[in-house]
Structure 1
Amino acid sequence: MTKKRSGRLPAVVVLSLMVGLSITGVVGAQTVWELQTAGLEALAGGDYYTAIEAFGSALQINPQDLGSTVGMAESYYWLGEYDQAQGLASRALSLSRRDPEVLTLNGRISIGSGDLDAALDYFNSAIAVEPNNVEAEIGLAELALAEGRNLDATLSLERLLRIHPEHQKALLSLVLVYEQAGDFETAERYLDIALQTHGNAPETHILAAEYDLRRGNNDAAAAHARTAQALDAHSTSAARIRATVALLDERYIEAIATAEELLRGERTDASVWFLRGQALVGAERIEEAMDSFRTALRYKPDDEIIRLVAENIAMREYPMEAPIRSEFAAYAAERADYFADGYLYSKALSSYRRALRLTPFDVSLRLSYAELHRTLGHTATFLQELAVLTDAGQGTPEIDRRISVYENALSESVAFQWAIDQFTLSKSKTSIAVFLAGGSTPLTHPLSERELLKSITTNLESLERVDVRESSVSSDFPDAFARARSEDVDFFILLWLTDSPRSFGLDATVHVGRTGVAVTSISIARVGPTRVIDTLDAFSRRVAGMFPFQTTIIRRRGDLVLIDAGLRDGIAEGAELTVLAPEAIIVAAGAIEYSYDAESVLGSIKITRRDDLISEGIISVDGLVDAIVVGDTAVMPGETVLERSSGALYPLLYDRVRALR
């Protein structure tokens, strides 16, 4: 993006640019030209820290050097430090308002800062100065991707190729765009052209290797990685792909050796420690693997996928009293407390449940979880959680006192009046199967997809009215459909996961179990330090609200009935439900709804009192004959509106194309 250049920068700017910048060991007797050259070489090689030091040293000697200002702005841009980059780029623009390169750099930084209107103005200004400016055209394509206009991006890139048929970034960008669209034939055609015209560039082979990995062509991916490393012996990306291929091919010793080779160059790379840990798990060296995961988390404590994988392995491989389980539980509990203090109760419940799966009999933890339910008005659940501790021999006089107080307080509750244990009921649920689509491999965290699927399944299993009968990887739709029918589920869900360094995404299609008809799709993406947990929690909430409500009559006393749905199911006092024989209701052939014949309606229930998991109601009979019996089904007709939403600033495809150089 940047070339050597010079210009005048007001001396006052230097004070704002140089605060906090280390410039030792670079200035010496070097000239501005030499320092700018060193900065450009470092920038071209992706060594942004060295580039910033060199450009900063040049600016210390000559605060009015435009080229170093532009180079420094670009370095911060590639680091994702858009506020710092914006200040530098604005200064450069004040010196050279009609320079297409400076205008384009400002446009790209504006995308990163979220000011898309300004980005469009900058790119158009660059093209007005120099029609068909390559970098500005690329910038417009990136802007289109950021806005989700993939077709516009494709047209822009292909228009650019008609003028510059061998432009590397345009070719590689089109590979990613067509891959995202599922047009693999066209993607591979552009990839072949890129390899023919830029086969001497290591980044071309890196992209080809990553593409092959996503397509499951491990041998081809390894070959491209070796070529990239032959072209650039210091390519960590190539070595990382080689290690990933070895891991996926179960060559664990090779994967461990390659990861350790990478760590000799960069000890603080959490992703390599994670890769090493996965290989050690495969080699059944669990203690070493956990040490590797813990090291990864020491360097990157907010990497949720590493933490989820480590937690799941700890639960599988270590007894409940193991210190490692307590260590992971403490982190989850701390986050739960943080969410609860911020009134983010859904997230707090999810984090407490994670912690309790690791250490089920931690008294302090279970008390905190119980207190949260009490705060939410789930008094019976609060009492049940205290009983769990006493049943496990963890009771205390204070816990016993509180149990006595709340048992007395609940003496008029629905459960007490009906003499029923609402927490051991076999509730009526919507049955589902969840399948992770084959090839849905998060490259940033290899072999994490099964652990992520396990976490997704665990979240879904915590839902009151969802029964997950199968959860596994499926090769394709026919396989998933056949397995869903064999499990006789109401619905099945096909999942795809997308993992990048700054974002995490989940796409899903929901199908009727008996017909395979797709009835809706879900797309969720999140950024930020809790992006993975936020995505999984959002998916669970979406699923919880997706299926039509149904409940079962479990007791009857005259005109009063008891149903297996309560406060925690969201049922409202005064709600009216329609009663049918269970055999009269089926899942609609092509929609998320139940179908039944109006003539099969037996009557209705009006809810009069609620408990946490059960409710009492009064029945009204349709017609002269009262045919309502225990075991009948009650439904609540209503429309479910599903929205396609994303918490990510931009689509994941934009992140991939932006990263191309």
Structure 2
Amino acid sequence: MLKVNRFYSAILLFLFLFPLGAEAPQVEAYRRARNLQENRKYYQAVEAYTELVRRYPVYADPVIGLAESFFFLGEYQDALHYIQDAIRLRRGSTSLQVLHGRILVGLGRFDEARKIFSQVIEAEPNNMEALLGLAELDVAQGEVGNALQTYEDALARVPGDKRIILGLLLLSDELERQEASQTYVSAAVRYHGDSPEVQVAVARHYIRRERFDDALHHARIAVSLQPDYQPALLTAARALLLKNEFDEAIEYLLNALKVDPADAGTLYSLGMAYEMAGRPEEAIRSYTSVFRSRRDDELTRYALESLVRRSTPGDHPLRETLAEYHLNRGIEFESRFLMDKAAREYRLAVQLQPSEARYRMRYAEVWKTLGYYAKYLSYLEGIVDEGTQSEDILDELEIQRSLQEDGIAQSWGLGQFEIERNEYRLGVFYIPSESTMEKYMGERIAADLFVDFLSSMERVAVTDLRARMVSSFAEAFGIARGRGDEYFLLLSFDETRRSFSVYADMYLAVNGAGMEERKVYRTGNDRVSDALDRAVRGIHASLPLRGNLLRREFDAGLLDIGALDGLEEGDELLIFPPEAVSLLRDRLGFAYSEDDMVGRFTVDGIDDLVAEGTIEALGFFDYINEGDILIMPGEAPPPVPKKDDQREGLYQELLTIQ
């Protein structure tokens, strides 16, 4: 009886979903939603599928559509929710199991994904979707060679398959197999030349090869095949931007906005195109429009702020709006005792409104909270020198001067923030072709922000105010060596929808030897600024500490390094004549002979940028002089090996192939 009731219920459900004599309205609605998805209009598809699921909760197809759409949007947690529902509604479906595995790869749950793919392949050895899912997993884990082999095996089984050919093209480009790449370009165009997706993939291949005319040719073919295909319009615009043909690029971007007026990536690219074309007002409007839907878009915000600082007068109202954003974030970070982040935000506010005392006071007070009272006093003096008449600030200035009148620097008659310090001369360069950025000129914005953060650190003098773009390591090496840098940095970046990575490789300028290779990877909110800030702090900490003897009175001396440099009371430093110490040529540290050492210095008292202590001469004669160099004892750190990393950017691009 129970089986009969179940059968009867199933028949009623079938008749409800698919009434006889006419196509059910839900089926027609599903087809419209599916058409939106197939045309990559995922947001509209999600809206349509969601309405279907609300009205017909046991109808499996729209649930599957939601899982697929969220997957291609990169919203893997939502995709996981719907694929689990879909599997319950349609048990035994291997295609849903494969999609489940692909979603788990996106979530970084690699072991679970591999188990699912392996189970499907064990049951169906020729299941192509599961095999390609394993290849995607290999790419996500950095095993690009394994993925390439899987795709090659798949092509042997299914010659001419579009997804496989385009996957092979992308992977061959990544591995710089140029002959193979050209073979797959020819195959893609021969078998699927009428596909706008294929023409876009070929155009992107030529962009990666810096063959911009060929890229533009194929992008234009894609547009002719489907005039409202947004990836084609954007790829054509990118090729034109790279050819410095900004006006025509703007036309393509405006057409792309007709397809999706709120697309943040298109609005950013349009803003950059206007900026490069010398149309700052239109660029500012376009950048600002991004924040209607993407308030957390850091690179666009920094591009906008940089342009505003360079192109608007000091009283422009947008300066205050942008500065207030950083002020409020700084206050929030400060309330959570994240003082380094608070200082970063207040400093950005000051850069936008340098004459506004309340921003400068917030920045100054961070240093007071951190216990650097001399630095706090120096900022107070700067605020007053700029003409503030605030009684509170003037009173605070007098209090701090009184409290610090017996400080170390004052007792030696020196202004510690006015002395010329022994800073490291650093050059900063970037090679655009070595970065994987979603945004046009994104590496320039990130590199300039890196320089801005690095310039705020003690003991560092960045040679250029902005990072310099170069075409090769050799060019950077030649520039850095020629102008007398001590070290130089080569930056590259990876950006995906959810993550940001910075690679900062440090070299000795005199011979180009590698000193260290540093990678910082971040996801979530503030990922760009957090990654850059972490990289800068790591580089700053890795520079070996050195100072100079500023003053000497008998066995007492004053150094030009202090608490802000990491020096502590009780530290012991070695004293050498300046010519006796040089930088090691194979790793970070100093080269010297102990025979040249003339004394030791023990730190007795410390201030923010100076320290005093006791001098002990070695031997019968005293050869210690003002200007001598002091370094910490100990071995230099070993070289840092570069680690293989996950290829998330490549993985995300592979997912765009359908």
Name the TM-score, length of structure 2 as normaliser: 0.91
Query: Deviation of residue 532 (structure 1)?
Result: 1.4
Are 1:118 and 2:112 counterparts?
yes
Partner residue in 2 for 1:346 = 340
One-letter code of the match for 1:635? Answer: I
State whether structure 2 residue 279 is matched by structure 1 residue 282. no
Query: In the TM superposition, what is the alpha-carbon distance from 1:193 to its structure 2 partner?
Result: 3.1
Q: What is the alpha-carbon distance in structure 1 between the residues aligned to residue 524 and residue 638 of structure 2?
A: 27
Task: Tell me which moved more, 186-195 or 397-406.
Answer: 186-195
State the shift of 1:200 in Å.
2.5
Partner of 1:19: none
CA deviations 1:419-478 (Å, max 9, x no partner) are 111111111112221111143566532234333322221211111111222441111122
Alignment of 1:217-366 (within 5 A): 217-366=211-360
Is the deviation greater in 620-629 or in 239-248?
239-248
More displaced stretch, 277-286 vs 613-622 = 277-286
Q: Distance in 2 between matches of 1:538 and 1:315?
A: 25
Distance 1:269 1:405 in 2: 53
Deviations 1:372-392, CA, capped at 9 Å, x for gaps: 101100011111111111101
Measure the CA separation in 2 of the matches of 1:641 and 1:297. 45
AA partner of residue 266 (structure 1): D
CA offset at residue 186 of structure 1? 3.8
Name the counterpart of 2:3: none
- The reply to whether residue 190 of structure 1 matches residue 175 of structure 2 is no
Counterpart Cα distance in 1 of 2:375 and 2:485:
29
Any unmatched runs of 5+ in structure 1? Answer: 1-6, 15-27
Which letter does structure 1 place at the counterpart of 2:650? L
Aligned length: 638
Output one character per residue of 1:177-200: Cα deviation in whole Å (capped at 9) or x when no partner. 343344444444434333333323
User: TM-score normalised to the size of structure 1?
Assistant: 0.90
Could you tell me how far apart the structure 2 residues matched to 1:491 and 1:412 are?
Answer: 38
Residue 562 of structure 1: SS of its match in structure 2?
strand
Equivalent residue letter for 2:337: Y
Q: 2:573 aligns with which of 559, 574, 577?
A: 577
Contact between 2:72 and 2:655, CA under 8 Å: does it hold in 1? no
Displacement of 1:241: 1.9
Deviating more after overlay: 204-213 vs 511-520: 204-213
Provide the residue aligned with 1:651 in structure 2.
Answer: 648
Answer yes or no: is 1:436 the counterpart of 2:433. Answer: no
Larger mean CA deviation between 601-610 and 68-77 belongs to: 68-77
SS in structure 2 at match of 1:299:
coil
What is the distance in 1 between the residues matched to 2:266 and 2:195? 24
Q: Name the CA shift for 1:83/1:451 in 2 (closer, same or farther; >3 Å).
A: closer
AA matched with 1:565: I
Tell me if the contact between 1:97 and 1:103 (Cα under 8 Å) persists in the aligned partners.
Answer: no
Cα distance change, pair 656–296 in 1 and its aligned pair in 2 (3 A): same
How do 1:376-387 residues align onto structure 2 when only pairs under 5 Å count? Answer: 376-387=370-381
Structure 1 residue 54 displacement after superposition: 4.7
SS at match of 2:462: strand
Out of 462, 487, 492, the position equivalent to 1:491 is 487
Residue 316 and residue 49 in structure 1: after superposition, are their counterparts in 2 closer, same or farther (change >3 A)? closer
1:643 and 1:337 map into 2 onto residues whose CA distance is: 37
Q: Does structure 2 conserve the Cα–Cα contact (< 8 Å) formed by 1:579 and 1:602? A: yes
**Cα distance in structure 1, aligned partners of 2:292 and 2:51:** 33
Q: What is the CA distance between 1:176 and its match in structure 2? A: 3.0
Q: Secondary structure in 1 aligned to 2:428? A: strand
Verify the 8 A CA contact 1:309 1:452 in the aligned structure 2. no
Q: Distance in 2 between matches of 1:576 and 1:186?
A: 60
- Asked whether the 8 Å contact 1:297–1:303 carries over to 2, the reply is yes
Match of 1:533 among 520, 529, 533: 529
Map of 2:129 onto structure 1? 135
2:173 pairs with 1:176: no
Q: 1:266-324 CA distances to partner (integer Å, 9 max, x unpaired)?
A: 22122222222222223322222212222223332211111111111111122333222
Q: 1: distance between equivalents of 2:423 and 2:441? A: 32
Q: Does the Cα contact within 8 Å between 2:598 and 2:623 map onto a contact in 1?
A: yes
Q: CA deviation at 1:97?
A: 4.4
Q: Name which of 548, 559, 562 aligns with 2:558.
A: 562
Q: CA–CA distance in 1 between the matches of 2:277 and 2:484?
A: 37
How far did 1:639 drift?
4.6
Asked whether 1:598 is paired with 2:598, we answer no
CA contact (8 A) 2:587 2:639 kept: no
The equivalent residue for 2:631 is 635
Residue-by-residue CA offset, 1:224-282 (whole Å, 9 max, x unaligned) = 11111122221111111222233333333222222222223322122222222222223
Runs of 4+ in 1 over 6 A off after TM superposition: 641-646
State the alpha-carbon separation in 1 of the partners of residues 172 and 74 from structure 2: 26
Change (3 A) 1:448 1:610: same
Percent sequence identity over matched residues?
29
Taking a change above 3 Å as real, the CA distance of residues 572 and 211 of structure 1, as seen in their structure-2 partners, is farther
CA RMSD of aligned residues (A): 2.7
> Do the aligned partners of 1:560 and 1:618 also contact (CA within 8 Å) in 2?
yes
Residues 1:288 and 1:59: Cα distance change in structure 2 (over 3 Å): closer
Structure 1 residue 644: Cα displacement: 8.0
| Residue number in structure 1 paired with 2:382 | 388
Separation in 2, partners of 1:654, 1:381: 46
SS where residue 267 of structure 1 aligns? coil
1:549 to 539, 545, 550: 545
**1:400 alignment counterpart:** 394
Matching residue's letter, 2:253:
A
Rounded Cα–Cα distance in structure 1 between residues aligned with 2:54 and 2:343: 53
**In the alignment, residue 122 of structure 2 is paired with which amino acid?**
A
Match of residue 16 from structure 2 = none
The residue identity in structure 1 corresponding to 2:608 is D
Tell me the residue number matched to 1:447.
441
Separation in 2, partners of 1:540, 1:376: 19
Q: How much has 1:535 moved relative to structure 2? A: 1.9
> Are the equivalent residues in 1 in contact too, given 2:432–2:443 (CA < 8 A)?
no
User: SS of the counterpart of 1:34?
Assistant: helix
